[in-house]
Amino acid sequence: MNPPRDIALPPSVVANPRLGDWLRVLPAGLIEVRPGKVELGQGVLTALAQVAAEELDVSLGRVRMMPAVTGVSPDEGYTSGSLSIQHSGAALRLVCAEARGRYLAAAAARLGVPEDKLTIADGQILAPDDRTTSYWEFADDGLLDRPAVGGYQPKPASAYRLVGTSQPRLDLPDKLTGRPRYTNDLAQDGLCYGRIVRPPSRGATLAGLDPAAALALPGVLTVVRDGSFLGVVAEREEVALRAVGRLRAGAT
């Protein structure tokens, strides 16, 4: 039986009510968390991971913070104004508390034990008679394919074990070791590269163009001209850069 709806939904949950948009439980023993905020060096993803792990009763190492992706992540607007914890943190706190409650209800039905007799330790759901199940055994996206109802009470601050503690920043290893995570490292299927041919001076007008030398380069797909705008599209970045040089030589 669902608990009564007695908790006001945070604005981010009102705008993105589906539980499965915020998190996903994986059979491998991990939980993907998808906030609508991005890491700008302020440590927000580490703090949000702590919020999620706290409410779900799992270790921080089981939480995988997913990057914000348009069309997939909850739409929480801008990441600005020091409001990420206030907005996304409040949303994740409620969503994870409800997800925890949903999994407890499923475990209670399987084990034939009242929900209030079950405990959770790092994703393992324990019954008083030592029988166990886990989040990972119920790793079914359908369980969270429903809107939040606001009827599951998050933990009181007095029960916190992770929130408010110092934890290693999730974003620092990549930054300190120089692991590539940049736009130029993307290599999706069918990806093309474009480059603009800049004019020699401000206000210059493109009077004439011979694109033959640029188009002769293997991998050049097209030369784009719109008035005095000039650009090239190629299969590879270095080819686009070479084509720019040839276009400059052929432009007047």
At 224-241, the pLDDT tens digits run 999 999 999 999 999 999
44-75 pLDDT per residue, tens: 999 999 999 999 999 999 999 998 888 889 99
Residue 171: CB partners within 8 Å, gap ≥ 6?
39, 41, 43, 45, 46
CATH code of domain 185-250: 3.90.1170.50
The predicted model scores a pTM of 0.72
Task: Tell me if 185 sits within 8 A of 214, measured CB to CB.
Answer: no
Burial class of 243 by CB neighbour count within 10 A (0 to 12, 13 to 18, 19+): buried
- The pLDDT score that the predictor gives to residue 4 is 46
C-alpha span between 215 and 243 (Å, rounded)? 8
Domain boundaries, the chain: 11-177, 185-250
CATH code of domain 11-177: 3.30.365.10
